[in-house]
Structure 1
Amino acid sequence: VGLKSTTPTVACALSNTLPALTFVMAAVLKMETVRLGTPSGQAKVLGTVVCVGGSMIMPFYKGPLLKVWASPMHWRYAEHATDATTLPSGNAAIVGDVLIILSCVAWAVWFILQSKMSERFSAPYTSTTIMSLMAGVQCAGISVVMDRSVSAWKLGFDIRLYAALYVGVVGSGIAFAVMSWCIQSRGPLFVSMFSPLMLVVVAVVGWAILEEKIHVGRYLPSVLPSSSLGCIWCFGARGGR
């Protein structure tokens, strides 16, 4: 609902607040050592600020268009896709931004809970199965309340079926199992710090499949923090543990 009420660019930018939210929660719960007086603590804080600050530039600065070669993987579906003629504005855009931020808060809470749960139940595949089953039941109930038409539940051999399979198999099954394993191994903050790389993947896949244009201001503010963030945070993690 938040994505529908705002623009994709703003939604991606706001989702990059996830590392900062996770960092604050982990620090408050004493799951991460900060120690601002030490180089390691300063590195963690600097990494979070660089990550979030760089990502926040995207909604306000588009920048020049990068001239890159045409993609050989262009997907024909993109030719029939319709672009939105109007962008959300006013109260609708504000509601969308708030919902995206709340979803990031919920995601950060999941990172924290997953870290605590792995201490007593170190079975990422089982926990992912249980979580996906519960999410499926909840989404089915919400869908019935929001849209009771039978046509909304029909799936053919088209983009709706492919999207549902991808989200279910890759986006939920594989992704959450891998994240659960990583959280168990390295902790919640380490995993959340790599969320800004989503924009890098979006830029590459969007250009390759949908022939989307790449603007410097839209992706560079996220690419630079993402590439430097790993070095900054790993330095802080080594010195602080």
Structure 2
Amino acid sequence: MEVLNMRAQSSLLKSLGTLVSIGGAFIVTLYQGMPIYIFSSSPTQFSLLNANETQPNWALGGLYLFGSCIFLSLTYITKTWIARDFHSEILITMISFFFETIVAAIVTFLAEDDTSVWTPSISIVWIAILFGALEVGVVNTVQTWACGKKGPLFVAMFKPLQMIIAVVMGVSFLGDILHLGSLIGGTVIAIGFYTVMKGKAEEESEKEVVESRLAYSSEEEDSASHKEPLLRNNVNV
């Protein structure tokens, strides 16, 4: 689905931009740095002691997240493969949600001992369910459409940008403190994203040039095959 020719500038830009974006994501995750106070008063921060006490097995969590990234990449590839042959993004999303609901029900049945989780109460739970269904449905439909149009790499490159958006939303609405590591990592992610998009644009322009040349050569061959010879040798027997 993706062309990787290291002699071509477009492939070099895509590979380099991907590595730069991954590096920026690591900077945001692993390096905190000094705090940057945008407002005069420093907001209160959520303590991570409770999170560390309730979820001490970070290695297992990291392994699960790694598996999630692998399956998410396979999902983008599968969506691209299906969307290019079957042009109905809403139906593809509905079928995928049907099977995801079955898998989620099986996992919930095995993981939860309390039967009350199957009966949501009339409270914020219903709002969360409805909002989640609407948000996930719209996002998956748009992702399926974009996979069919641009391919899985184009869609996957927007994932690191979610870290930047999460930082901005957290600082703006949740009172989080902006740190230097988030600022540097976000800048690196943006540079990598722009590099990949530039490589994709050059690749599409190169593809258009090749297609136009092939179309022009085929038209010349067709016109040459329809031409009649100027001289004919008439042989009278």
Deviations 1:151-199 (A, max 9, x none): 32343454433332222210x2010001001111111101111111111
Partner SS state of residue 28, structure 2: coil
Change over 3 Å in CA distance of 1:179–1:222 after alignment to 2: farther
Asked which structure has the greater CA Rg, the reply is 2
Return 5+ residue gaps in structure 2 as ranges.
208-237
Name the residue aligned to 2:173: 209
| Number of equivalenced pairs | 203
1:1-241 correspondence to structure 2 within 5 Å: 31-69=1-39, 84-87=49-52, 92-170=57-135, 172-217=136-181, 219-240=182-203, 241=207
The amino acid that maps onto 1:198 is: Q
Change over 3 Å in CA distance of 1:238–1:208 after alignment to 2: closer
Q: CA deviation at 1:89?
A: 10
8 A contact 1:194–1:226 mirrored in 2? no
Alpha-carbon distance between aligned partners in 2 of 1:159 and 1:198, rounded to the nearest angstrom: 25
What percentage of residue pairs aligned between the two structures are identical?
Answer: 23
Partner SS state of residue 139, structure 1: helix
8 A contact 2:23–2:189 mirrored in 1? no
Partner SS state of residue 87, structure 1: helix
Alpha-carbon distance between aligned partners in 1 of 2:53 and 2:79, rounded to the nearest angstrom: 35
Deviations 1:196-215 (A, max 9, x none): 11112211222233212221
8 A contact 1:50–1:229 mirrored in 2? yes
The amino acid that maps onto 2:8 is: T
Return 5+ residue gaps in structure 1 as ranges.
1-30
Alpha-carbon distance between aligned partners in 2 of 1:47 and 1:35, rounded to the nearest angstrom: 15
Alpha-carbon distance between aligned partners in 2 of 1:84 and 1:163, rounded to the nearest angstrom: 26
Deviating beyond 4 angstroms after TM superposition, the runs of 4 or more aligned structure 1 residues are 81-84, 88-91
Q: CA deviation at 1:119?
A: 2.0
Whose RCO is larger (CA < 8 A, sep 6+)?
A: 2
Q: CA deviation at 1:49?
A: 0.9
The amino acid that maps onto 1:206 is: G
Alpha-carbon distance between aligned partners in 1 of 2:192 and 2:30, rounded to the nearest angstrom: 22
8 A contact 2:5–2:11 mirrored in 1? yes
The amino acid that maps onto 2:117 is: A
Alpha-carbon distance between aligned partners in 2 of 1:143 and 1:182, rounded to the nearest angstrom: 31
TM-score computed with the length of structure 1 as normaliser: 0.74
Alpha-carbon distance between aligned partners in 1 of 2:122 and 2:173, rounded to the nearest angstrom: 19
Alpha-carbon distance between aligned partners in 1 of 2:124 and 2:139, rounded to the nearest angstrom: 21
Alpha-carbon distance between aligned partners in 2 of 1:57 and 1:223, rounded to the nearest angstrom: 8
Alpha-carbon distance between aligned partners in 2 of 1:159 and 1:64, rounded to the nearest angstrom: 36
8 A contact 2:19–2:192 mirrored in 1? no
The amino acid that maps onto 2:200 is: A
Change over 3 Å in CA distance of 1:89–1:42 after alignment to 2: farther
8 A contact 2:21–2:193 mirrored in 1? no
Change over 3 Å in CA distance of 1:119–1:208 after alignment to 2: same
